[in-house]
A = this chain, B = another copy of it.
Amino acid sequence: MEEMDHLAHERSKAQFDVDAMKVVWAGSKHALDVSDRMARLVASDPVFRKDNRTMLGRKELFKNTLRKAAHAWKRVHELRLTEEEASMLRLFLDEPSYVDLHWGMFVPAIKGQGTDEQQKKWLPLAYKMQIIGCYAQTELGHGSNVQGLETTATFDPKTDEFIIHSPTLTSSKWWPGGLGKISTHAVVYARLITDGKDHGINGFIVQLRSLDDHSPLPGITIGDIGTKFGNGAYNTMDNGVLRFDHVRIARNQMLMRVSQVTREGKYLQSDVPRQLLYGTMVYVRQTIVSDASKALSRAVCIAVRYSAVRRQFGSQDGGPETQVIDYKTQQSRLFPLLASAYAFRFVGEWLKWLYADVTRRLQANDFSTLPEAHACTAGLKSLTTSATADGIEECRKLCGGHGYLCSSGLPELFAVYVPACTYEGDNVVLLLQVARFLMKTVSRLGSGKQPVGATAYMGRAQHLMQCKCDVRGAEDWLKPSIILEAFEARAVRLAVNCAQNISKAASPEEGFSELSADLLEAAVAHCQLIIVSKFIEKVQQDMPGPGVREQLQILCNIYALSVLHKHVGDFLVTGCITPKQASLANDQLRSLYSQIRPNAIALVDAFNYTDHYLGSVLGRYDGNVYPNLYEEAWKDPLNDSVVPDGYHEYIQPLLKQKIRVSRL
């Protein structure tokens, strides 16, 4: 009975080859193989269990995370895992820790901003984890505005040192992950001052703690910034606070790849172009887009499976009730998210290619595509993380009351995911950057210089400003060319409208700021177009396995038409489509939901997630939800005793009312 697959019937309905789809989702047969092996390795190791995580107090939780990280490091070496395998293992470990910042920010910062000599000195130590580093940029008073950071690094020519100092309370470093309790070193961003002159923000490698006994070095105050959103979640991470009281470091600990301070205290720019730094941002944000598809697909996997298990209403003659996944309202909330998970996966894959392409060009001193690539990744980071955060919470609601239990996995998934909307660039601030880029692109139209990359469509602005949508029947909305043109026309028209309205303002800056809410919408339209177009391109590729392409085609259309439905105002206001065409799109969408329905379970199976990684009783592969929910409940600490602690002091006197009743 326990071994029964309650979803077997659902699986038998699939109209495509699930194993082939697994390869498509993973990216390649090799990638699937690696991720499958690493996922199982983690799932089978008791040290990596996480089902008790939401019940632990902060200290216990944190200690356990340290234990897991150390164990992972040990396994990586025992098994001689490749770098690819090791990073997959860390992914499936599924627990934020200092390790993420060490590999994800500290090492890349040194690689990107350190001289060859600096890299030679620091990277081997970091690779062996003989030092542990974090990325200390944000301060109490400044996050988005990096140029406003207040920490100072003043060069002292007498001793050939920098004096790192926190001159105000708001200059305290605040938020860096791994800083609070673990890191021995940090890349600290500070305002460089030589000879009384302020040269702006630069990075410095600063040792924070003794390598002997881990105590903070003299002049350094350091701690954790406190509990964050959710049970478990990001509380496994020691986001920290850090203050410097005139801490001295050697001059060669300034990261000097793009600018230097000489022994005499002269500030020099090197001939390495500053834009290189943008390359790193493109890299980091591209990984965030790829994480978005992972997080969203996990939530969708849970909600789809549970929606097939859950039955409510509609029993006829004592037969089983309706599976809630068969309600059109459930479908209209759930299937666009399923489609989005696939859409984000493919646009993430494309971004990975884009990063490789940009890197190749940079190495050949070709900077021409960098601004566009930078705007594109900024926008996609913003769009995919916002949609994922909202999507996880929608999946939670789709599970009804049970989604509110930690054992559903969804509360923690949400809480651990949402800061992605804020870190690595606040999503609104990023969209404004995209908008700025779009306005620049519009202003150059007609100058002869053709827009490149994902803005190439703007080169056809003249056509797109006045084209008419050819949809006559609902099935016309299945044509990629029609969908694409509608999205392109909407994006161009919104951008051009904004540009025209800005030009009416007293100054471009004033116009931009006055119209910035509209500009956000134009930026979103541009990014949604990119996602739709990359999904369409993906579906046109060679695709092995029966039925695979057909399913992706349906998902692609669901993604495009559900976005169109949600933002139909944009399409109508700009005259891209007519009300009648909007309503035909809606009809088509309903029909697509019916087509995807029998494949829904298999489409989330294709993510190939273990029950360990999902971490959800509702999302179990075997659909055996109820007995396991019931069992989970009893593990709560409150169930340690039948009569709860506090009963004798606070409940019994109430029930007995010895004193107070007489007073009534």
Shortest Cβ distance from residue A344 to the other chain B in the assembled complex, whole angstroms: 19
User: In the bound complex, what is the Cα–Cα distance between A651 and B73 (angstroms)?
Assistant: 11
What residues on B are CB-neighbors of A356 within 8 Å?
none
Q: A58 touches which one: B426, B638, B650, B660 (CB < 8 A)?
A: B638
- Give the Cβ gap from A395 to chain B, nearest Cβ, in Å: 13
Of the stretches A2-10, A11-19, A270-278, A626-634, the one at the interface is A626-634
Most chain B CB neighbours (cut-off 10 Å) among A62, A175, A214, A520: A214
- Given the interface pairs A629-B140, A651-B182, the reply to whether A645 lies near B227 with Cβ below 8 Å is no
Chain B residues with CB under 8 Å of A463's CB are none
Contact check, A228 vs B411: say whether CB atoms are below 8 A apart: yes
- A404 surroundings in chain B (CB, below 8 A): 228-229, 234, 418-419, 422
Asked whether A419 lies within 8 Å of B407 as measured between CB atoms, the reply is no
The answer on a CB contact under 8 Å between B241 and A143 is no
Tell me if A82 counts as interface (CB < 8 A to partner B): no
Known: A328-B514, A590-B517, A652-B214. A55 touches B227 (CB 8 A): yes
Collect the chain B residues with CB atoms within 8 Å of residue A170's CB: 626
A225→B569 CA distance, assembly (Å): 44
Q: Does A446 contact B (CB under 8 A)?
A: no
Task: Assess A649 versus B54: contact at CB under 8 Å? Given A59-B637, A422-B401, A632-B226.
Answer: no
Q: Are A626 and B141 in contact (CB under 8 A)?
A: yes
The minimal Cβ–Cβ distance linking A625 to chain B, given in whole angstroms, is 9
**Chain B residue, CB-CB nearest to A67:** B650
Least Cβ distance of A184 to chain B in Å?
Answer: 7
Q: Inside 8 A of A321's CB, which chain B residues have their CB?
A: 145, 148
Q: Return chain B residues, CB-CB under 8 Å to A182.
A: 644, 651
User: Given B131, B231, B634, which contacts A655 in the complex, CB threshold below 8 Å?
Assistant: B131
When A145-B321, A230-B415, A569-B567 are in contact, do A140 and B630 touch as well, CB less than 8 Å?
yes
Contact B226 A635 (CB under 8 A): yes
Q: Per-residue CB proximity of A71-89 to B under 8 Å, as 1/0? A: 0011001000000000000
Stretch of A286-294, A367-375, A578-586 lying at the B interface: A578-586
Closest to A53 in B: B227
Pick the contact of A639 from B70, B132, B224 — CB < 8 Å? Answer: B224
Chain B residues with Cβ below 8 Å from A393 are 393, 418
Q: Tell me whether A640 is interfacial, beta carbon within 8 Å.
A: yes
Contacts of A55 in B (CB 8 A): 58, 227
Beta-carbon contact of A230 and B230 below 8 Å: yes
Q: Say yes or no: B175 contacts A128, CB within 8 Å.
A: no
Q: Are B644 and A227 in contact (CB-based, < 8 A)? A: no
Interface check A42, CB cutoff 8 A:
no
Q: Which residue of B lies closest to A332 (CB)?
A: B517
In the complex, besides A132-B654, A145-B313, 7 extra interface pairs with C-beta distance below 8 angstroms are A66-B651, A73-B654, A77-B660, A129-B654, A140-B626, A143-B401, A228-B411
Q: List 10 A-B contacts (CB under 8 A).
A: A66-B647, A143-B401, A172-B630, A175-B401, A224-B633, A327-B513, A328-B514, A401-B422, A514-B590, A567-B569
